[in-house]
Structure 1
Amino acid sequence: MSEEKYVKKGQEFSRDMNYVPDRITKGARRPEHGPVAGELWPVEPGRYRLVAAKACPWANRAIIVRQLLGLEDVISLGTPGPTHDQRSWTFDLDPGGRDPVLGIERLQEAYFKRFPGYERGITVPAIVDVPTGELVTNDFPWITHDLYFEWRDYHREGAPDLWPEDLREEMEEVMQRIFTEVNNGVYRCGFAGSQEAYDAAYERLWVAMDWLEERLADRRYLMGDAITEADVRLFTTLARFDAVYHGHFKCNRQKLTELPNLWGYARDLFQTPGFGDNTDFEQIKAHYYVVHSDINPSGIVPAGPDPAVWLTPHGRG
């Protein structure tokens, strides 16, 4: 997401879901699931670079799925810094401020190489074609979907079944509710432009949070005894809840640490390889509290909470 005035007075927040709809599929064939509105690119190890900032929850899920599936040596990873200006995410964490593989300072350069004068937001995650330096896609829900379904030949041995066939229909419904009510729900609270819009968003969020708290009372993960894509999609919001959303976005009925099932579940995932080691609380806080200048004009980044609490026993084994 590029910087702009997020809070529009008198309006409720609406996310622009118009992304570059290209897909990377095995043999560049028509995929079994989902829309094909753009071009199809072939699965080729070493050809593509996932550009994903650890600060961003939508990008963070792609980083987590890449590691869970063991695709680190197949698709390289570029990580922009946590803050950006109106133009683009930048590679200020890399030596010389340039991505070491793509050689660019701004992700915007890959977008413009494919679409000169691209007018929509310069978003992460994005997949870039390394040989040409051009953007392939930034359609975040389908990026993780295709990492699972289309790159199966390159998954590590024992990789988790993130889309179990017997649970897929229910999982799609669970993920849709998580997206609309929780992943996007916290933004609907934070960027509300009126008291009425905020009140409605707050109510919707906590109805969903209560539903999740109840759902996790009698199962270890959202779909049962094993981690699925649904857990990845919920985790990135939970990881940011107390550090950002509770105060910065005014989602403050309770902290995550005050919800026994959700808090135990979140720590369970955090302590699972791929989740906590790809969660950077300093980058997360820097992104939200600095970039959202209309919400936090001082730019002050809070010192807490203490991340050590994420390593305490979760008791969900």
Structure 2
Amino acid sequence: MNDAGTKDQERPEHGRGGTYTVKGQEFVRDSRYITTRITRDGADGYPVEPGRYRLIAARACPWANRAIIVRRLLGLEDAISLGLPGPTHDERSWTFDLDPGGKDPVLGIERLQEAYFRREPGYPRGITVPAIVDTRDGAVVTNDFAQITLDLSTEWTAFHRDGAPRLVPDDPDERAEMDSVMRRVYTEVNNGVYRCGFAGSQEAYDAAYARLWTALDWLEERLATRRYLMGDRITEADVRLFTTLVRFDAVYHGHFKCNRNKLSEMPVLWAYARDLFQTPGFGDTVDFVQIKQHYYVVHTDINPTQIVPQGPDLSGWLTEHGRDELGGKPWGDGGTPPPPVRDDERVAPGHNPLYPAEA
């Protein structure tokens, strides 16, 4: 029971967090994960080993999109394979409906739930992406989305491409600052849009809305004088903010009622987001069609008709951003952009302005 004396509502939310609870009409995300780590020393029983693990990460999901971006920026495509569930799911699980026969070609399963059950029969929490699966036994190793990307940066260094950026700073003070920035981005922005969208009362929504826009105004100010969140180069913090910003006008502005402004009406954040979108490894991972299908079809409590909007116009993502005037070295000293996306991992034509519809 919640403080108001009414029963808390628990709902499935498979994108990340398993389930969420509306406590006193406020959205509270379940943060219980499988926290096993893949490390160089194999302390948890899972050593870094190229070819052994498969990243399952739906393009529709912002939390999974992070892992896709980091894997690409670091050049880990040959070390860790990628499985892509479709954009919609039922209450049981994400499904591999985009693959021939509706099965993941490596794991041979129809539902990601099967990999969770191989790790823990009857796994009681939500079936979330991203998840890393051990191809030896088909069981999930971890779905701890925040730790997954940090470990790709710090534990898989032997398999990074030449010129890979250093997304996690070595300097302790810079790392502490980045962690602080990422905590605020997560609580107020990444999760803040969900807090607005799934609020169960006007009061809860009003409070969530105020928190979100306080944070976005803070980011607008922070990024006015620096090209990236931590200064002159791309870090993990930018990856984490980008996946929310790129979904903002297409989904969060209307679907989640985050409608004080569109992203395209915030000069600094809009230019920053376009800068990243046009940077190899960011925009080329984004599938706007799948993003809209996921939110507008799956969230039937918010959008019971399941009608997917046609807009917004996406051509603005390719317009000049002017952020290079702030200088900086996006990839750090000696770093280089990743090579073009391999053919079998490209976003479908027409799903992204970088990949126009085929004539």
Q: Please indicate, yes or no, whether the TM-score normalized by the shorter chain is above 0.5.
A: yes
User: In the aligned structure 2, how far is the partner of 1:165 from the partner of 1:206?
Assistant: 32
Deviation at 1:40, TM superposition (A): 3.9
1:120-131 equivalences under 5 Å are 120-131=125-136
Distance 1:27 1:104 in 2: 30
Q: Which string of whole-angstrom CA distances, capped at 9 and with x for unpartnered residues, describes residues 124-157 of structure 1?
A: 0000000110110000000000000000000011
Q: 3-state DSSP class of the match of 2:141? A: strand
Question: Gaps (5+ residues) in structure 2?
Answer: 1-12, 325-359
**Cα RMSD after superposing both structures:** 1.4
Aligned partner of 2:185 among 166, 169, 178: 178
Question: Given the alignment of the two structures, is residue 23 of structure 1 paired with residue 30 of structure 2, yes or no?
Answer: no
Secondary structure in structure 2 of the residue aligned to 1:13:
strand
The corresponding residue for 2:213 is: 206
Deviation by residue 1:212-237 (Cα, 9 ceiling, x = unmatched): 00000000000011000000000000
SS of residue in 1 equivalent to 2:28: coil
Q: 1:302 aligns with which of 297, 309, 322?
A: 309
Separation in structure 2 between the aligned mates of residue 226 and residue 115 of structure 1, nearest angstrom? 40
Letter in 2 for 1:142: Q
Q: For residues 100-179 of structure 1, what are the structure 2 equivalents within 5 Å?
A: 100-166=105-171, 167-179=174-186
Distance in 2 (alpha carbons) for counterparts of 1:268 and 1:165: 25
Name the counterpart of 2:290: 283
In structure 1, the partner of 2:227 is 220
Q: Deviations over 1:90-120 (max 9, x none)?
A: 0011111100000000000000011000010
In structure 1, runs of 5+ residues without a counterpart are: 30-38
C-alpha distance in 1 between matches for 2:229 and 2:27: 27
Contact 1:59–1:140 (CA under 8 A) maintained in structure 2:
yes
The answer to whether the 8 Å contact 1:58/1:140 transfers is: yes
2: CA distance, partners of 1:109 / 1:146: 25
Do structure 1's residue 256 and structure 2's residue 270 form an aligned pair? no
Give, in whole Å, the separation in 2 of the partners of 1:6 and 1:25.
Answer: 30
Corresponding position of 2:349: none
Pairwise CA distance, 1:83: 0.2
Question: Match for 2:91: what amino acid?
Answer: Q
> Measured at CA, do residues 99 and 207 of structure 1 come closer, stay the same or move farther in structure 2, by a change above 3 Å?
same
The Cα of 1:264 is off from its aligned counterpart by: 0.3
Give 1:113's aligned amino acid.
R
Q: How far apart are the structure 2 equivalents of 1:144 and 1:82?
A: 21
Question: How many matched pairs?
Answer: 308
8 Å CA contact 1:6–1:294 kept in 2: the answer is: no
2:84 to 71, 79, 87: 79
For the pair 1:247 / 2:254, whether they are aligned, the reply is yes
Distance (Å, rounded) in 2 between the aligned partners of 1:299 and 1:276: 26
TM-score of the aligned structures, taking structure 1 as reference length: 0.95
AA matched with 2:229: L
Matched letter for residue 119 of structure 2 = R
Aligned 8 A contact 2:22 2:28 in 1: no
Equivalent position amino acid for 2:228 in 1: Y
> What residue in structure 1 maps to residue 52 of structure 2?
47
In the alignment, which residue of structure 2 is the partner of 1:238?
245
C-alpha deviation, 1:306, in angstroms: 1.5
Q: Deviations over 1:267-299 (max 9, x none)?
A: 000001111110000000000000000000000
Q: Amino acid of the residue matched to residue 316 of structure 1?
A: R
Structure 1 CA distance, aligned partners of 2:21 and 2:288? 24
CA deviation after TM superposition for structure 1 residue 7, in Å:
8.3
Amino acid aligned to 1:237: T
Deviation at 1:185, TM superposition (A): 0.3
Is it true that 1:2 corresponds to 2:9 in the alignment?
no
Q: Which amino acid aligns with 1:91?
A: F
Equivalent position to 2:69, from 64, 73, 80: 64
Identity of aligned residues (%): 75
3-state SS of 2:30 partner? coil
Q: Distance in 1 between matches of 2:19 and 2:233?
A: 40
Distance 1:189 1:176, change over 3 A: same
Cα deviation for residue 8 of structure 1 reads 4.4
CA distance in 2: counterparts of 1:20 and 1:165, whole angstroms: 27
Preserved contact between residue 21 and residue 29 of structure 2 (Cα < 8 Å): no
Question: Do 2:21 and 2:30's aligned partners in 1 also have CA atoms closer than 8 Å?
Answer: no
SS in 1 for 2:284: helix
| TM-score in terms of structure 2 length | 0.84
Amino acid at match of 2:155: E
Higher RCO, 1 vs 2 (CA within 8 Å, ≥6 residues apart): 1
Separation of aligned partners in 2, 1:2 and 1:214: 33
